[in-house]
Amino acid sequence: MRPLRWKSRYQTGDAEVDRRNRAFVDCLNTLIHSAGQREHCREMEEFIGRFTADAEQVLVERPADQDLRAEFAHRLLDALPLGPYGGSACRQCGLCDLAREKIAEHLEPPAECLFKPV
């Protein structure tokens, strides 16, 4: 799975918003990297693909003051754990748990990242 590359078209002109959004992209890429290092279920692959595509679309179309970190943290919390979690289709990769743990940290200040390396 390819990481989401920061592009100049994502810039809003507001240095703080751009810094936060770029940090969000970096954190999302940490999850993508972690997924590449572990055997995981098909649902996780599809989930990360959809989530990355949604993030990229929002980066292009969003209002300049939108805080992507909070919006996408809530989307992730609603989606996780994935359906196979704990069942026979679960690969026990730990990505559902890792993502939920890092989201919880993110929603509690002063967390800096959704997906800090473990």
The tens digit of pLDDT for each residue in 90-101 reads: 999 988 888 787
Asked if residue 95 lies in contact with residue 40, where contact means CB atoms within 8 angstroms, the answer is: yes
- Residue 11 DSSP SS3: coil
Query: Tens-digit pLDDT profile for the chain (118 aa)?
Result: 789 899 988 888 888 888 888 888 887 888 888 888 988 988 999 988 998 898 888 888 876 666 677 777 778 778 888 999 999 989 999 888 887 876 766 565 544 555 555 4
> What is the model's pTM?
0.76
Whole-number percent of the chain with pLDDT over 70: 81
Please tell me the distance from the alpha carbon of residue 57 to that of residue 32, in angstroms, as a whole number.
17
